[in-house]
Amino acid sequence: MTDSADKFTRQTLLEVNPLTPSLFTLRTTRDRGFRFRAGQFTKLGVTKADGSTVWRAYSVVSSPYDEFLEFFSIVVPGGEFTSELSRLKVGDTLMVERQAYGYLTLDRFIDGRDLWLLATGTGVAPFLSILQDFEVWEKFERIVLVYSAREARELAYQDLIADLAQREYLAEHVHKLTYIPIVTREHVPGALNGRITTLIESGELERAAGVELSPEHSRVMLCGNPQMIDDTRKLLKERNLQLSLTRRPGQVAVENYW
């Protein structure tokens, strides 16, 4: 299963679950030597019919302690990578780079009381990994997961999010979590309607969370559509929430690997 001379391992596809015609999740075996922090991504490789290999970055959905790796993907029409990936079946081989990357991890923040996780589409992946790791529950008093999709059927991992409350190791902490689904193209009971930025500007997002976005207490992670990230960063900057850098700790962390 392992190519020791290379930068990747060959893993076996365990599950492929189509959610919609353009979204699917997949689960692979995990090399014993692969290590990552919750919130990080790695690179997956597929071999095309002509023998060439195509690589793309994917956040890990699964916890650092799971014996498998799970990923969440969108099918890009005519896309060189996802077209190949979406054709794979259980038992097929997928290449996984040995290295994990990214700074969408809890050590980006040196303090904070409330953690906001703002995601669109497949950008929810790193946050699901973070929520399955015990560290976040000890570090923050309030955790707000905001997950936006165009249609209700595109809101993935609803069972996993609901299951967090049933996990024994989170029994004393799960009350800290507020989950806010957003659907932008239809009105759905129990979900907000509108773009994340619009809901921040109107105050509706904070009202739904029951907590204020403030530089003193809030720490914000953003992952998903690049336009959402840019627009939300500008809004947060107007409220004096600054990007967290190695040389200057702040209140906002983003992931850009699109």
pLDDT confidence of residue 165: 83
Q: Of all helices (H) and strands (E), which one includes residue 229?
A: helix 226-238
pLDDT confidence of residue 258: 54
pLDDT in tens, 51-80: 899 999 999 999 999 999 999 999 888 888
pLDDT in tens, 156-186: 999 999 999 888 888 889 899 999 999 999 9
pLDDT confidence of residue 4: 46
Identical topology for domains 8-97 and 106-254: no
Query: What number does CATH give the domain 106-254?
Result: 3.40.50.80
Listed as ranges, residues in the chain with pLDDT below 70 are: 1-5, 257-258
Question: pTM of the full predicted structure?
Answer: 0.94
Beta bridge partners of 69: 28
176, 137 in Cβ contact below 8 A?
yes
Round to whole Å and give the CA distance between 203 and 102.
31
Query: What are the extents of the domains in the chain?
Result: 8-97, 106-254
**CATH classification number, 8-97, choose in 3.40.980.10, 3.20.20.150, 1.10.230.10, 2.40.30.10:** 2.40.30.10
Q: How far is CA 141 from the centre of its chain?
A: 21
